[in-house]
Amino acid sequence: HFSGGEYKIVPRTNADFGTITSVELSRTSGIPNEFALAQNYPNPFNPSTTIKFQLPVSQFATLKVYNLLGQEMETLVSGVQDAGEYTLRFDASRFTSGVYFYRMQAGQFTQTKKMILVK
């Protein structure tokens, strides 16, 4: 279009925007009865792995990754999360091979699991 001495690009239809990808959040039906942090899978992994956790109540939660020296390497979750079961994908492609720990804290609940990155 040409208007007011300027050109303007206008899409003809929604198809002109390209491919639109939806994001799906899978949740189990109902609310879990307890806090839980599952073992990642696959383990060992290269370069990404899946981590599941569940919260029985809406809660401020953190999920962090640490190296063998206890240094924080990555924060995966930090904020108030609704009650439910969560699945996240952790991409460690910028990390070196080795043993790492992931730790979840939510209220009084704290749990740590070990994972192994093999490149």
Alpha carbon distance, N-terminus to C-terminus of the chain: 53
The two structure tokens encoding residue 58: 């809406």
Q: In 3-state terms, what secondary structure has residue 64?
A: strand
Q: In 3-state terms, what secondary structure has residue 26?
A: coil
- Does residue 96 have a pLDDT over 60? yes
pTM of the model: 0.74
pLDDT single digits (tens) 45-80 = 998 899 999 999 999 999 999 999 999 998 888 889
Among candidate residues 38, 36, 52, 47, the one with its CA nearest the CA of residue 116: 47
The two structure tokens encoding residue 106: 């939510």
- 59 vs 30, more confident: 59
* Burial class of residue 36 in the structure, from the number of CB atoms within 10 Å of its CB (0-12 exposed, 13-18 middle, 19+ buried): middle
